[in-house]
């Protein structure tokens, strides 16, 4: 079975997807990490993220691996463990930029489809149900109020002892929402047959319960 979980930043999709994958003993793939890996590695290589040709050539030769680990999924980029280097606001902004580029999306979507072909996978992102696996067995679209998503992100970063400002994070989330929803290539939107879940007023446990109920009915 292929389970697609889409939604904007801070909607809870990654947390939910990880739990479901563990519960079902499925493989979990965070496709957002792939776009962050492109942005992070291209910058490290000195490539201008606005140069679509250069970024396209770079992503074509990029090797991104997902490795299971007791501490959580590890992401290797050209053999280097980049897991802890991909989750920051600078890389996130770069990911939004490269995610709007046609060549980048073509290459990464092909990689994602290859990973998911074996089945028994939970994949989260922004276009899994609409572009990557439009025929997925189950599609979920998680969303929440921008302020609530900003608060979640703020608390997550504070736990990592990062110096962050709540209002700035909310502003960044609203900006990313606008970019994701208005881009010409694979805009962020629910698939027509997706199960939509507003997570604003629910705990993680309550959302997991809702999602698992739907999965159990499908099995």
DSSP 131: I
169 is a domain residue: yes
Angle at 143 between CA 139 and CA 148, to 5 degrees: 155
Domain with 137, as residue range(s), is 2-209
- The CATH code of the domain that includes 91 is 3.40.50.300
Encode the chain (219 residues) as per-residue pLDDT tens digits: 999 999 998 899 999 999 999 999 999 999 999 999 999 999 999 999 999 999 999 999 999 998 877 777 889 999 999 998 898 778 988 998 999 999 999 999 999 999 898 889 999 999 999 999 999 999 999 999 999 999 998 998 888 788 889 999 999 999 989 988 998 888 999 999 999 999 999 999 999 999 999 999 887
217 is a domain residue: no
181 is a domain residue: yes
Number of structural domains in the chain: 1
197 is a domain residue: yes
- In angstroms, rounded to a whole number, what is the distance separating the alpha carbons of residues 203 and 45? 41
pTM of the full predicted structure?
0.91
219 is a domain residue: no
Q: Which of 121, 161, 152 lies closest to 21, judged by CA?
A: 121
37 is a domain residue: yes
218 is a domain residue: no
């Amino acid at each position: 079975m292929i389970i697609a979980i889409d939604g904007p930043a801070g909607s809870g999709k990654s947390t939910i997807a990880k739990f479901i994958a563990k519960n079902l003993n499925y493989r979990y793939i965070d496709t957002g990490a792939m776009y962050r890996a492109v942005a992070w590695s291209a910058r490290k290589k000195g490539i201008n993220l606005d140069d679509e040709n250069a970024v396209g050539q770079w992503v074509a030769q990029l090797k991104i691996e997902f490795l299971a680990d007791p501490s959580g999924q590890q992401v290797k980029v050209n053999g280097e463990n980049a897991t802890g280097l991909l989750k920051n606001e600078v890389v996130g902004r770069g990911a939004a930029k490269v995610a709007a580029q046609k060549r980048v999306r073509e290459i990464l979507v092909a990689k994602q489809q290859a990973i998911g072909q074996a089945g028994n996978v939970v994949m989260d992102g922004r276009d899994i149900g609409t572009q990557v696996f439009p025929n997925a067995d189950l599609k979920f679209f998680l969303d929440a109020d921008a302020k609530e998503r900003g608060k979640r992100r703020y608390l997550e970063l504070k736990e990592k002892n990062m110096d962050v400002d709540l209002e700035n994070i909310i502003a960044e989330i609203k900006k990313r929402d606008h970019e994701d929803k208005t881009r010409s290539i694979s805009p962020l939107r629910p698939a027509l047959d997706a199960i939509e879940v507003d997570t604003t007023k629910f705990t993680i446990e309550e959302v997991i319960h809702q999602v698992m109920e739907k999965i159990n009915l499908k099995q």
